[in-house]
Amino acid sequence: MPGFWPALGFTLVYLSFFLFLPLAALALRPWEAGLDHVWGVISHPRTVAALKLSFGAAFVAACINAVFGTIVAWVLVRYEFPGRRLLDAFVDLPFALPTAVAGISLAAIYAPNGIIGSLFAPFDIQIAFTPFGVMIALIFVGFPFVVRSIQPVLEDLEVEVEEAAATLGATRLRTILTVVAPAITPALIAGFSLAFARAVGEYGSVIFIAGNLPNVSEIAPLLIVIRLEEFDYAGAAAVGLVMLMVSLLILLVLNVVQTRVASRGRA
């Protein structure tokens, strides 16, 4: 196609300014204070606990969104009911709602004196200001990614294919497992990846409901902010670099799995 080289040049320049250069700065900044300082920061028990919470809660939240996001997408595509368009619009609410507002709202609801938190308070179960509260916030911000990834695939999946499987004697469960599931699996993996990536770096909606207790409910993005406030820019960059490397590795694995699943589906 004509115009390849100008388009490629524009793409490389654009990515260099807004992606490659910031990532290069992040990769180089930690080493200004020396290897010992970098290792001391990333191996500190507080840093390790924050990273475990951020990645662990993000993974669990993405798994939950993968299940319930698929169900919601199925309902929105396959059924007609009053208020369906309104419900469909509500799915995008986490995109439009400022993260700080979402965090304050979730903290008010799940606090011990909140609407939902008060129901668990008599049983000495606290949701807000705990790691469980972190996971709830991450579920909230990542939910739309799964729904919006699967919804177009379900809309393109013709109902006649399922009806043909049923006429051939397949049960409803077998039809879902052999016809529907293979078609939506690549989109499901893509939605899971997006939800996970968003949850790992989420900050605004989490700090209000997390409690921010070191080694308990402190997330890695908050630890980066704390390092910056202490003027430890190298330490902050070191934590950010670890998050970047782990996230890239996980997303690379998910991308490989998605590609293989998609190729098997086409075969």
Q: Which of 23-32, 42-51, 163-172, 185-194 has the lowest mean pLDDT?
A: 163-172
For residue 266, pLDDT over 70 is answered with no
Please give the residue that has the higher pLDDT: either 162 or 24. 24
How many C-beta atoms surround the C-beta of residue 195 within 10 A?
29
Give the pLDDT band of residue 55 (cuts 50, 70, 90): very high
Q: What is the pLDDT of residues 94-153, one digit of tens each?
A: 988 888 899 999 999 999 999 999 999 898 899 999 999 999 999 999 999 999 999 999
The angle subtended at Cα 59 by Cα 243 and Cα 61, nearest 5°, is 125
**CATH number for the domain running over 34-266:** 1.10.3720.10
- Under 8 Å between Cβ of 105 and 136: no
Burial of 207 (0-12, 13-18, 19+ CB in 10 A): buried
Give the pLDDT band of residue 59 (cuts 50, 70, 90): very high
For residue 179, pLDDT over 90 is answered with no
- Under 8 Å between Cβ of 206 and 138: yes
- Residue 1 pLDDT: 63
What does pLDDT average to over the chain? 89
Cα 149 to chain center, whole Å?
13
Question: What is the Cα–Cα distance from 215 to 219, expressed in whole angstroms?
Answer: 9
For residue 176, pLDDT over 80 is answered with yes
pTM over 0.85: yes
Cα 190 to chain center, whole Å?
10
Q: Where do the domains of the chain lie?
A: 1-33, 34-266
Give the pLDDT band of residue 169 (cuts 50, 70, 90): confident
Question: What is the Cα–Cα distance from 3 to 252, expressed in whole angstroms?
Answer: 30
